[in-house]
Structure 1
Amino acid sequence: MNSASQLAKRFREVLLEGFWIANTNFKDQLTDVTWNQAVTKVDSLNTIAMLTFHIHYYIAGIVNVLEGGALEIKDQFSFDLPPIESEEQWKDLLIRLWTDSEKFASLVEKISDDKLDDVFVDEKYGTYRRNIDGMIEHSYYHLGQISLIKKLLAHQ
């Protein structure tokens, strides 16, 4: 298995289907979350919906680059979740996350090992490999937060 395939597999593990590192994944954690749970604030923590939007924001932004577009995302907008006012809007966000996550993984699989070490957009962002690894690590970080928030909501 080449490096790109391994990275795509690791990405799918955290987002869609794996249980190796955290014994869970985004899809496993979010599938049973209701709209009301997703938007419920626990103390000063971000909501589950906010964290879901945040991860999707970065995935979609990197997908755009992998498809040949510009890097248009900005950290300052990564938590600008539009109001989610219904179960349908929450489910739509999840569908976009699953769809773009699979697209991300499929695009990563097509990257040559040589290109993985090329500059990603600008030297200040490092290489493609670094950004893909960063997306995986970033996802695990927020997966842990979502798991904890779910547990806190269950005990309210």
Structure 2
Amino acid sequence: MELILWRHAEAEPGAPDGDDNARALTSKGKRHAARVGAWLERTLPDDCRILTSPAKRCVQTVKALGRRYEVVEALGTDSSAEAIIQAAGWPGNRQPALVVGHQPLLGEVASSVLSGRKQDWRIRKAGVFWIEHKGSDGIPYIRLVVGPDLIGKLR
């Protein structure tokens, strides 16, 4: 299985009503989401399941991909790494999963599946952390870690 973690792009510092889930992307965030989304559209497997947090900034980020997606409550800001791993179906699902979510949760997901324990790993805004689990040894590996500034240089 492939687990692709995509942190939402840069968002406004606070929603006018104080609702963290209502925070929208900044202009820079929209540009980064578009750049990374276009690259992911070319790179993701056709059968990839796309799951996103219900937070506005995550939905805006995933819309830049241009594919169908599912809003999953278990990916929200008040979730846990364990709930996100379960929602993605790691490691047993046959289909790859792209998860659009938040820090520190995505960093905790990456550290949990790669090292077996939750740690404070950081993923940049609009960054992608791609993990693959293949073979009979049962050991996952890092396929790619990239931020929006390097996406244009990848072919």
- When the two structures are superposed, what TM-score results if normalisation uses the length of structure 2? 0.28
- When the two structures are superposed, what TM-score results if normalisation uses the length of structure 1? 0.28
- Looking at CA atoms only, which structure, 1 or 2, has the larger radius of gyration? 1
More helix, by proportion: 1
